[in-house]
Amino acid sequence: MEEIKQRNIYLKQLLAFKDQEPVKIITGIRRCGKSTVMKLMMKYLIEHDTLPEQIIYMNFESNKFDDFDRKQVYQYVQERIITGRKMYIFLDEPQTIENWNKTVNSFQVDFNCDIYITGSNAYLLSSEYATYLSGRYVEIKMLPLSFKEFITFQGYTLKDYVSPIGEQRKRAYDALGEMTEIADLFEAYVRYGGFPVLSDIGLEQDKVLAILDGIYNTVVKRDIIDRANLKPNSHTIDSVLLEKVCQFLADNIGSSISFNNISNTLVSNKMLQERKRHGKPAVRTISNYVDDITEAYLFYPIKRFDIKGKEYLQTLGKYYMVDTGLRNYLLGYRGVDTGHQIENVVYFELLRRGYDVAVGKIGNKEVDFIAIKGEEKIYYQVTQEMRSEETITRELAPLKEIKDNFPKIVLTLDSNIKLTEDGIRIINLLDFLLSNEHE
């Protein structure tokens, strides 16, 4: 088997459920590495005394299985079952097969097997589909590379050193031993994003944009437009309107928006001139499109939580884009937008670390993120700099109003900063992203 770069965060999650009843379903946007994690799992099995013949792998985007129906899938697996052996069944993007879930349920009933599935659309786990798995599945939520993974995938090694003032720091070295500034690597990460395929082509802008163009258009075609036609309440997608909605969401990451606001802005900014249908898009249409977009893992919605009232709010949602490289592909790279970009990076880093994440509301102020995992809760503010008194006051004010004793942290790109302010920790963003908390 070819050399595969590690994605240990996700492999560990799969191993935690190895040989247990739940079907392991790896979800996430296309090209984020789901198939690679499957291959890492197969590699692990072979290295730990599993015979290659005990592993059945079917990639339903291969021509080999292009015309298969669910009965042929069942027959293909049945013919490869080894009596008296545990079988490991890997199904890559099986949602192209009608009633695939009934077939998976049959495997669980008929064979001694451990099942792994990938899916690039959240409709894979919609209520109608998941019913057939009777709740016997666990979802492994996968994302593009973290900043730390990005550094490794680009061929750099991180080494610790002690600064002249005695602080632990990190430096990055390439394969020739040449040092590269971590801040420069972070700039590349924010600009080009974290899709693993970029490590195969290098960080030349024209090549990166070509790859991102392919990913975006595949997601739009296969996981949004084609999937919309498969839903019980199927609706025809207007591709021009869909792209403008994507651009609007990308341009407004981290901002409170409503579907009516999207519709009004698209019309008032004359963004729909290319549409065949004229007039203001219906709010229901915009709502359907945003659902389609989030189901394809292109954008992630984030809830707002009233810290004093201790309840989730139903109004004015926010969205973050799964990859800053895709955002820059859609909008063009804008160096003045760093604040929103780093906020986007932190949101997905918190998800990687296993937190449930919400926006916090306290009075008329807002906390960027509340991160919750079990009994653990942390409040985060994210800001590009903490040098001016105005910024310091603005970023600390919401945190100071929170009266509980959970940790409160400000993440900033500034390096020479005061470490605490009224009990609130101020941490360099790059140090936070390179810490080992999620490993």
DSSP-derived letter for residue 225 is I
DSSP assignment letter at 123: G
Residue 187: in which H helix or E strand, if any?
Answer: helix 182-192
Mean pLDDT of the chain: 91
Nearest of 4, 3, 22 to residue 13 by alpha carbon? 22
User: Given this model, what pLDDT does residue 168 score?
Assistant: 80
The encoded tokens of residue 413 equal 């790109």
Task: Identify how many contiguous H helices and E strands the chain contains and give both numbers.
Answer: 17, 16
| 206-221 average pLDDT score | 96
- State pTM to two decimals: 0.93
Residue that wins the pLDDT comparison between 321 and 238 = 321
Residue type, 66: D
Q: How confident is the model at residue 309 (pLDDT cuts 50, 70, 90)?
A: confident
Instruction: Return the CATH superfamily for domain 8-141.
Output: P-loop containing nucleotide triphosphate hydrolases (3.40.50.300)
Q: Can you say how many angstroms the Cα of residue 347 is from the centroid of all Cα atoms in its chain?
A: 10
The mean pLDDT value for 48-69 works out to 95
Retrieve residue 359's tokens. 């926006």
Q: What average pLDDT does range 50-71 have in this prediction?
A: 95
Per-residue model confidence as pLDDT tens digits over 129-186: 566 666 688 999 999 999 999 999 999 999 998 888 777 889 999 999 999 999 999 9
Alpha carbons within 13 angstroms on the beta-carbon side of residue 308 total 10
CA terminus-to-terminus distance, the chain: 25
Helix (H) or strand (E) holding 324, with range, is helix 324-331
Strands 23-27 and 137-141, sheet pairing: parallel
State residue 437's pLDDT score.
63
Query: Taking the alpha carbons of 203, 140, 134, 57 in that order, is the dihedral positive or negative?
Result: positive
Residue 128: is its pLDDT beyond 60?
no
* Residue 76: Cβ-neighbour burial (10 angstroms; 0-12, 13-18, 19+): middle
**DSSP codes joined into one string, 415-433:** SS--SEETTEEEEEHHHHH
Given a cut of 50, whether residue 1 has pLDDT beyond it is: no
- Is the pLDDT at 121 greater than 80? The verdict is yes
Q: How far apart are CA 179 and CA 173, in angstroms?
A: 4
Q: pLDDT digits over 376-422, tens only?
A: 999 999 999 988 889 899 999 999 999 999 999 999 999 877 678 78
Distance CA 408, CA 425 (A): 6
343-378: pLDDT as tens digits: 999 999 999 999 999 999 999 999 999 999 999 999
More confident residue, 230 or 9: 9
